[in-house]
């Protein structure tokens, strides 16, 4: 959408995975490649299907009753449960001699640039908006590793705020996470846009709060 003086927002929020950056290849390929280094062979396509089934069935990644210092541990346990279910459904979980060591390596891997790629339109677009004086924020149902991922992908410099569900205690489409992001910019909903690739979490969630919602179809 073209920005004009009439529709210029104070802030534009963007989702992270699927909007700013994506997974190289597939999750199943990444899981499978690392599993091989631990002596376990599994079909990447089977792992991919199992991962997304486990991911969809999981509870939202938000921990409303947890103290801030406990959030990283809760995130780790949340993702470990999905990884366990993924390899169990692929019928290779019992092939690991030390699954905790494998998962520790897997979890760390996703803090690096290696498994990610930035969509080719992103840097130019963010730079243009920043030059126009528009504030930018990331608003994501990711976890606190996002604070490590954005710098290694060369994206951190564009954003003045990063709001993630695990730190807020609410996940999109819950209104609470949108209000938490807006508060960081002292901004009213009608002064903000939100761009994301999920119909329910991004588009419907933002629209319900009163932001200009834009659905991005990658």
CB atoms inside a 10 Å sphere around CB 2: 4
Q: What is the pLDDT of residue 1?
A: 62
At 119, is the secondary structure helix, strand, or coil? coil
pLDDT digits (tens, 9 = 90+) for 163-197: 999 999 999 999 999 999 999 999 999 999 999 99
pLDDT digits (tens, 9 = 90+) for 64-80: 989 999 999 999 999 99
Q: What is the pLDDT of residue 7?
A: 82
According to DSSP, the β-strands at 116-118 and 21-23 are: antiparallel
Q: What is the pLDDT of residue 46?
A: 98
Q: What is the pLDDT of residue 4?
A: 73
User: Domains plus CATH for the chain?
Assistant: 11-22+116-215 (3.40.50.1000), 25-109 (1.10.150.720)
- Identify the segments of the chain with pLDDT beneath 70: 1-2
Q: What is the pLDDT of residue 44?
A: 97
CA–CA distance from 182 to each of 61, 145, 167 (Å)? 20, 21, 15
Residues counted in the chain = 218
Q: What is the pLDDT of residue 3?
A: 78
Q: What is the pLDDT of residue 59?
A: 92
Give yes or no for a contact between 75 and 166, defined as CB atoms under 8 angstroms apart: yes
Work out the percent of the chain whose per-residue pLDDT is above 90: 95
């Amino acid at each position: 959408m073209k920005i004009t003086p009439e529709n210029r927002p104070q802030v534009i929020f963007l989702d992270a995975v699927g909007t700013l950056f994506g997974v190289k290849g597939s999750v199943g390929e990444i899981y499978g490649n690392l599993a091989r280094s631990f002596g376990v062979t599994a079909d990447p396509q089977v792992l991919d299907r199992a991962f997304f089934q486990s991911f969809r069935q999981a509870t939202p990644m938000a921990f409303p009753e947890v103290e801030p210092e406990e959030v990283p541990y809760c995130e780790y346990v949340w993702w470990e449960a999905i990884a366990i279910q993924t390899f169990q459904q692929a019928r290779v979980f019992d092939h690991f001699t030390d699954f905790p060591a494998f998962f520790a390596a897997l979890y760390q891997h996703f803090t690096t640039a290696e498994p990610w790629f930035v969509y080719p339109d992103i840097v130019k677009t963010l730079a243009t908006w920043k030059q126009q004086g528009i504030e930018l924020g990331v608003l994501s149902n990711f976890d606190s590793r996002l604070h490590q991922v954005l710098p290694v992908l060369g994206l951190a410099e564009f954003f003045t705020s990063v709001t993630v569900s695990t730190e807020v205690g609410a996940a999109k489409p819950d209104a609470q996470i949108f209000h938490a992001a807006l508060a960081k910019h002292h901004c009213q909903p009608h002064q903000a846009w939100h761009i994301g690739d999920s119909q329910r979490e991004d588009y419907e969630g933002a629209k319900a709060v009163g932001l200009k919602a834009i659905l991005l179809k990658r």
